[in-house]
């Protein structure tokens, strides 16, 4: 019994760690590919936690499906960004965007 | 003509006039006729309503129901009827004067000034006839919005900056201070109506009453109390005819009327609970009156001098309301009357002088009285009234104010009011004296025929208006008595 | 036969409101011609709007059967708003063809319909998991829309990426929250909060908190607002996102909160989360809006500030508070349609391009000005009405800071919205006017006119207040 509880808690802990680290990676990275991977890890962490909690399989599959959808769209954006900017660093995008941003002239 | 119809005409005629003037600016004669005609219609309606109120009747018009329990409603009561009739009458004179200035200065955009003046006049009617705090707030804001374009009328950078300062000060004070006061009142009293005897009477403890009083007094920035008086110097950059509207006919009187309505119909007897705040505010008001009069002394531009002078007079209105005594309220009402007539005369005279001679500085007016006798006669009368010399209106107002201060034991307030009167004499007296007694300047006029009658007649007529208060002081007291009699 | 069919449609209207637009989306995407695809999308959106208004009318004003549970008030109020706004936006999209390439246009039309379907589904879903799926569908469609004008302006890609990442993290939190709630309550039915005893209150509380956080990220509420500026600022679909996505996200939040308030254990936690997020949103949204450099960013951050007020109203936890939140949602939609729509109609985005447009683009200028007045909380507009109701509700439970928040939001609104009116009417224009050309420009008119009228509803808002009160009563389980 105690072992079950321990395993359960370990699963939840691992899932939460995945979720958090994925989220941090997704938000803080400069590299677009790393951000998307971080997102995927975060999603998988959430699905793992759901599995540990014992939710029905349909929920798990659908959750994974949503994660996949994010991955696909993220990959598509990655490719387009690479085409448009020639790189995958967020800093470059921001710098390039600032130059073309319509601004207000000083009065 | 029914009272409801008169009320609608008093509120609506200037709006229609404004639209028509904007649509039909040429020929200038048509524009002037439309402008003066609208003002006349408004004045007739307001006079009718004043007679209805004198007979003891009342009426109510509801324009919208924006909230459950709160209407956008206008109704007739003695104070509002008096103010509306007075300001509408002066408004006719202002309309004529406006036309004269437009002709003399060949202003291409004069129809815009006329339209905004009409809209401001309509909003002022709304202030006078408002029957609850919500309506008052709406028309108060509308007044700000109607007057600020006048300041930027010249089209230059300085005017636009001044207009933005004006807007920021007034909107900031009303949204940041007056609106919370309104909301708090609603939370305490459950309603927003102006009630004889006071909406808050018996419902507030001293701390709440004091806090509310502070919020209202500073929220009503149009009354001109520092530190929310920044709009005064901004508005003094406006064209001359706009100044008449702002300082004499709409913005300053709106602050004054608002203060009186709040003191009489929102606080009522609850004002005694707020004695703590009232004392401090009275001192602030008194000192500010003197400071404003001093600042006026230092200004050479006639517009700025008269603006600060009017501000000092408006502060006297606030002083009267804070005294929490029927005599004080009566004094405030008289002071609004005197302020309107006096400031109208002064600013119209300044406008006439500018239009006829192109001069705007006080030092340049020496001796002009000899070539523009009627104008400066009116100016001299107005100066005397503002200082408080009998037998002009200002004297009666000041007299009642000092009597009220003595009655309630605020001797310091009386002293400060007296000091302010002396300082007013200092900045207005020599002006009038030099103008009338100095040597006449050679070739002062820009046009060969001097100042037209349209410029001069309003000045002397509004100057004469300060005399009639002498005759009707007593009936006026009876007429206004519901202000302080209800429930207290 | 037809009457039976209509009756069948009525009974199943929640389902139809989701599937109908989805079918329309599939059709619109399949047709390569941009104009034909737009026509199909517009028809589908209008039909959905009609169905939604019928649903709302029956549910809130009559006692007719609606196919939604008797506890579902938020959906009945907001779904007509979403569908109606969606129809107007879809119509207006016909005029924005110059922003989107010929190839991408059918997909853009399809995605708009998916957005509508998704948020309506999220509001009408019977259980949390369906709600999660609907939210994600709508969100991902929104991301797609954000990148729709990428061929004209590559910065849209960067904005879409930020939106995806932020929303993705939100999705993970949302999923986790749904799982916790399912575990804590014992089942995933949304209504179970009110009707069953909760087995594990702390877990459920955490779950609800996670759900609200995830949704808050999608709504762009502070402190999760960093994606809002770049996503809205450069996208061609700001109109759709601003009007529909933001409204949908905050409406789902209020819906979940409404159900959670019905369970006594959860109320305090929910109120705390909503209060913190709401207050932060009001402050940060107002600050960013004051410093915004173009109209889209300004409108987006003004929306964040409005979301803050809505969340604060909902945090009050009373029927009055929820009703105030609903009224403010109405005001938010109207302001978004007018601001974003007016901006799209004018064509210029940078604030200097607004100078002096008061004369040259009268309808759009009036729409932007009226929206600015509503944001300022000027009396007689519906924005003032929403804020007043919020103050009334707050004072009713002794929460004075509600009044402070409203005053702060109004003051900030005076500043940043006043700048708009100043530029439109009181400055001379410096650049030549490049507005949307062609006869299709008239497609903006319905949206702008409806938005103006909606804002002016503040003059006589009786039925709006009745609807909001009825919806709030249902949400708190007080309706018969």
Q: Which of C290, C324, C379 to mutate to test the interface with B (most CBs of B within 10 A)?
A: C379
Per-residue pLDDT at B199 exceeds 60: yes
Q: Give the minimum alpha-carbon distance from B182 to chain C in angstroms, rounded to a whole number.
A: 11
Q: How much is the mean pLDDT over chain B?
A: 85
The first and second tokens of residue B196, run together, are 């004889």
Per-residue pLDDT at B336 exceeds 60: yes
**Interface predicted TM-score (ipTM):** 0.88
Q: What is the pLDDT of residue C139?
A: 93
Start-to-end C-alpha separation, chain B = 35
| Domain residue ranges of chain C, discontinuous segments joined by + | 2-475
Contacts of B149 in chain C (CB under 8 A): 426
Q: What is the pLDDT of residue C115?
A: 93
Domain span at residue B275 reads: 3-485
pLDDT band at C45 (very low <50, low <70, confident <90, very high): very high
pLDDT tens for C122-173 read 998 888 888 999 999 999 999 988 888 777 777 788 888 888 998 999 999 9
Q: Is some CB atom of chain C closer than 8 A to the CB atom of B358?
A: no
Helix/strand/coil for A23: helix
Q: Looking at the domain that runs over A2-100, which CATH code has it been given?
A: 1.10.287.3510
Closest by CA to C242, choosing from C336, C348, C139, C108, is C336
Q: Which of A84, A91, A98, A99 to mutate to test the interface with C (most CBs of C within 10 A)?
A: A84
Per-residue pLDDT at C415 exceeds 60: yes
Q: What is the pLDDT of residue C43?
A: 92
Q: What is the pLDDT of residue A102?
A: 56
Q: Alpha-carbon distance A16 to C180, whole Å? A: 12
Q: Give the minimum alpha-carbon distance from A42 to chain C in angstroms, rounded to a whole number.
A: 6
Q: CA angle, B394 as apex, B391 and B398 as ends, to 5°?
A: 105
Beta carbons within 8 Å of B363's beta carbon, 6+ residues apart: B300
Contacts of C179 in chain A (CB under 8 A): 46, 49-50, 53, 55, 59
Match 């064509």 to its residue by tokens: C347
Per-residue pLDDT at C195 exceeds 70: no
DSSP C42-62: HHHHHHHHHHHHHHHHHHHHS
Q: Give the minimum alpha-carbon distance from C321 to chain A in angstroms, rounded to a whole number.
A: 33
Residue in chain C lying closest to A105 (CA): C352
State the average pLDDT over residues B179-189. Answer: 86
Chains that touch A (3 or more CB pairs under 8 A): C
Per-residue pLDDT at C437 exceeds 60: no
**Beta carbons of B138 and C462 less than 8 Å apart:** no
* Nearest residue, CB atoms, C147 vs list A54, A70, A77: A77
pLDDT tens for C319-346 read 888 999 999 999 999 999 888 888 877 7
Q: Give the minimum alpha-carbon distance from C411 to chain A in angstroms, rounded to a whole number.
A: 22
* Nearest residue, CB atoms, C179 vs list A22, A55, A100: A55
Residue in chain B lying closest to C394 (CA): B187
Kindly give the residue spans of alpha helices, DSSP state H, lying in B410-488. Answer: 411-437, 453-480, 482-485
> What number of C-beta contacts closer than 8 Å exist between A and C?
121
Q: Give the minimum alpha-carbon distance from C410 to chain B in angstroms, rounded to a whole number.
A: 7
Beta carbons within 8 Å of C423's beta carbon, 6+ residues apart: C351, C352, C354, C355, C356, C357
pLDDT band at B356 (very low <50, low <70, confident <90, very high): confident
Contacts of A26 in chain C (CB under 8 A): 165, 168-169
Between positions 68 and 87 of B, the ones with CB within 8 A of C are: 68, 72
Q: Give the minimum alpha-carbon distance from A103 to chain C in angstroms, rounded to a whole number.
A: 6
DSSP B227-259: TS-HHHHHHTTS-HHHHIIIIIISHHHHHHHHH
Residue B71: φ, ψ to 5°:
-110, 160
Helix/strand/coil for B71: strand
Helix (H) or strand (E) holding B62: strand B60-67
pLDDT band at C254 (very low <50, low <70, confident <90, very high): very high
**Beta carbons of B172 and C414 less than 8 Å apart:** yes
pLDDT tens for B66-96 read 887 788 889 888 888 888 988 999 999 999 9
Beta carbons within 8 Å of C208's beta carbon, 6+ residues apart: C177, C181, C256, C260, C266, C269, C270
Q: Is B450 left (phi over 0), alpha (psi -120 to 50) or beta?
A: left
Per-residue pLDDT at C436 exceeds 80: no
pLDDT tens for C288-326 read 988 887 888 888 899 999 999 999 999 988 888 899 999
Residue C37: φ, ψ to 5°:
-65, -40
- Could you tell me the CA-to-CA distances from A15 to A45, A49, C176 in Å, in that order? 4, 5, 10
Residue in chain C lying closest to B170 (CA): C414
pLDDT tens for C13-24 read 888 888 889 999
* Nearest residue, CB atoms, C411 vs list B66, B163, B176: B176
Q: CA angle, B339 as apex, B335 and B341 as ends, to 5°?
A: 120
**Beta carbons of B65 and C460 less than 8 Å apart:** yes
Number of domains in chain B: 1
| More reliable by pLDDT, C455 or C396 | C455
Per-residue pLDDT at B470 exceeds 70: no
Q: What is the pTM of this model?
A: 0.86
| More reliable by pLDDT, C264 or C430 | C264
Chains that touch B (3 or more CB pairs under 8 A): C
pLDDT tens for C81-117 read 999 999 988 888 877 766 677 778 888 889 999 999 9
State the average pLDDT over residues B195-207. Answer: 82
**Residues of chain A below pLDDT 70:** 1, 88, 90-93, 96-97, 99-107
**Beta carbons of A45 and C172 less than 8 Å apart:** yes
Q: What is the pLDDT of residue B124?
A: 94
Chains that touch C (3 or more CB pairs under 8 A): A, B
Bridging pattern class, strands B70-75 and B60-67 = antiparallel
Helix (H) or strand (E) holding A25: helix A2-28
Number of other CB atoms surrounding residue C3 within 10 Å: 7
Residue in chain B lying closest to C421 (CA): B145
């Amino acid at each position: 019994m105690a072992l079950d509880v321990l395993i359960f808690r370990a699963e939840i802990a691992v899932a939460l760690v995945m979720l958090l680290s994925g989220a941090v990676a997704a938000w803080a990275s400069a590299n677009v590919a790393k951000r998307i991977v971080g997102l995927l890890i975060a999603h998988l962490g959430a699905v793992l936690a759901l599995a540990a909690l014992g939710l029905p399989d349909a929920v798990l599959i659908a959750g994974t499906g949503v994660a996949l959808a994010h991955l696909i769209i993220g990959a598509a954006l990655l490719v387009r960004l690479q085409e448009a900017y020639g790189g995958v660093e967020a800093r470059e995008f921001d710098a390039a965007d600032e130059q073309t941003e319509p601004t207000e002239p000083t009065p | 003509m029914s009272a409801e119809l008169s009320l609608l005409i008093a509120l609506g005629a200037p709006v229609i006039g404004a639209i028509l003037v904007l649509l039909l600016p040429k020929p200038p004669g048509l524009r002037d006729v439309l402008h003066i005609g609208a003002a006349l219609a408004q004045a007739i309606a307001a006079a009718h309503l004043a007679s209805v109120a004198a007979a003891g009747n009342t009426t109510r018009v509801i324009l919208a129901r924006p909230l459950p329990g709160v209407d956008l409603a206008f109704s007739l009561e003695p104070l509002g009827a008096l103010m509306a009739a007075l300001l509408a009458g002066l408004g006719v004179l202002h309309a004529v004067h406006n036309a004269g200035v437009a002709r003399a200065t060949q202003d291409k955009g004069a129809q815009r000034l006329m339209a905004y003046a009409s809209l401001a006049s309509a909003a002022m009617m709304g202030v006078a006839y408002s029957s609850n705090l919500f309506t008052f707030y709406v028309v108060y804001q509308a007044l700000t919005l109607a007057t600020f374009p006048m300041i930027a009328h010249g089209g230059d950078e300085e005017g636009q900056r001044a207009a933005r300062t004006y807007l920021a000060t007034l909107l900031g004070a009303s949204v940041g201070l007056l609106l919370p006061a309104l909301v708090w009142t609603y939370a305490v009293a459950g309603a927003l109506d102006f009630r004889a005897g006071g909406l808050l009477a018996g419902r507030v403890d001293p701390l709440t009453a004091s806090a509310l009083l502070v919020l209202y007094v500073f929220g009503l920035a149009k009354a001109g109390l520092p530190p929310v008086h920044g709009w005064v110097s901004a508005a003094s950059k406006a064209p001359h005819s706009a100044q008449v509207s702002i300082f004499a006919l709409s913005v300053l009187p709106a602050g004054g009327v608002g203060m009186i309505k709040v003191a009489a119909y929102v606080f009522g007897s609850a004002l005694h609970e707020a004695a703590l705040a009232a004392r401090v505010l009275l001192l602030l008001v008194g000192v500010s009156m003197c400071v404003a009069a001093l600042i006026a002394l230092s200004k050479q531009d006639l517009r700025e001098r008269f603006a600060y002078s009017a501000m000092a007079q408006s502060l006297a209105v606030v002083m009267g309301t804070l005294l929490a005594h029927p005599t004080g309220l009566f004094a405030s009402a008289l002071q609004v009357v005197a302020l309107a007539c006096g400031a109208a005369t002064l600013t119209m005279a300044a406008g006439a002088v500018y239009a006829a001679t192109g001069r705007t500085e006080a030092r340049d007016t020496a001796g002009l009285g000899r070539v523009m006798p009627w104008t400066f006669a009116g100016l001299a009368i107005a100066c005397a009234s503002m200082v408080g010399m009998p037998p002009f209106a200002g004297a009666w107002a000041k007299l009642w104010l000092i009597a009220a201060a003595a009655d309630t034991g605020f001797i310091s307030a009386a002293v400060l009011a007296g000091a302010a009167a002396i300082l007013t004499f200092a900045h207005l007296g020599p002006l009038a004296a030099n103008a009338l007694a100095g040597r006449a300047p050679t070739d002062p006029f820009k046009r060969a025929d001097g100042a037209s009658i349209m410029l001069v007649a309003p000045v002397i007529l509004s100057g004469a208006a300060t005399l009639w208060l002498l005759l009707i002081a007593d009936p006026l007291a009876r007429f206004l008595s519901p202000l302080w009699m209800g429930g207290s | 036969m037809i009457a039976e069919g209509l009756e069948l449609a009525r009974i199943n209207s929640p389902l139809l409101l989701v599937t109908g637009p989805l079918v329309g989306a599939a059709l619109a995407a399949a047709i390569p011609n941009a104009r034909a695809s737009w026509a199909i999308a517009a028809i589908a959106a209008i039909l959905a709007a009609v169905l939604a208004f019928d649903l709302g009318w029956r549910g809130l004003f009559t006692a007719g059967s609606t196919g939604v549970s008797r506890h579902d008030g938020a959906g009945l109020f907001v779904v007509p708003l979403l569908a109606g706004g969606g129809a107007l936006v879809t119509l207006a999209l016909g005029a924005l063809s110059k922003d989107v390439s010929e190839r991408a246009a059918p997909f853009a039309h399809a995605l708009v319909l998916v957005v509508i379907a998704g948020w309506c589904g999220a509001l009408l879903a019977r259980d949390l998991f369906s709600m999660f799926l609907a939210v994600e569908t709508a969100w991902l469609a929104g991301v797609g829309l954000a990148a729709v004008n990428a061929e004209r302006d590559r910065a849209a890609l960067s904005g879409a990426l930020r939106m995806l990442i932020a929303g993705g993290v939100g999705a993970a939190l949302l999923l986790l929250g749904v799982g916790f709630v399912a575990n804590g309550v014992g089942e995933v039915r949304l209504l179970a909060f009110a009707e069953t005893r909760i087995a594990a209150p702390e877990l459920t509380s955490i779950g609800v908190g996670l759900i609200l956080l995830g949704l808050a990220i999608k709504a762009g509420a502070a402190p999760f607002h960093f994606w809002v500026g770049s996503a809205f600022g450069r996208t061609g679909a700001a109109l759709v996102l601003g009007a529909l996505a933001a409204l949908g996200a905050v409406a789902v939040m209020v819906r979940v909160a409404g159900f959670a308030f019905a369970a006594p254990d959860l109320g305090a936690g929910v109120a705390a989360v909503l209060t913190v997020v709401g207050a932060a949103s009001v402050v940060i949204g107002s600050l960013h809006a004051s410093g915004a450099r173009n109209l889209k960013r300004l409108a987006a951050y003004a929306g964040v500030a409005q979301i803050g007020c809505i969340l604060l109203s909902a945090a009050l936890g009373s029927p009055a508070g929820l009703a105030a939140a609903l009224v403010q949602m109405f005001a938010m939609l109207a302001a978004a349609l007018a601001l974003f729509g007016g901006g799209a109609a004018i064509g210029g985005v940078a604030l200097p391009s607004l100078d002096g447009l008061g004369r040259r683009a009268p309808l759009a200028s009036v729409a932007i000005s009226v929206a600015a007045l509503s944001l300022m909380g000027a009396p007689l507009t519906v924005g003032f009405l929403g804020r007043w109701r919020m103050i009334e509700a707050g004072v009713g439970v002794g929460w004075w800071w509600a009044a402070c928040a409203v005053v702060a939001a109004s003051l900030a609104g005076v500043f940043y919205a006043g700048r708009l009116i100043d530029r439109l009417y009181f400055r001379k224009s410096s650049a030549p006017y490049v507005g949307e050309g062609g006869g299709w420009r008239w497609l903006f008119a319905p949206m702008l006119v409806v938005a103006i009228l909606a804002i002016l509803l503040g003059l006589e808002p009786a039925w709006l207040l009745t609807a909001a009160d009825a919806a709030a009563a249902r949400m708190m389980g007080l309706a018969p």
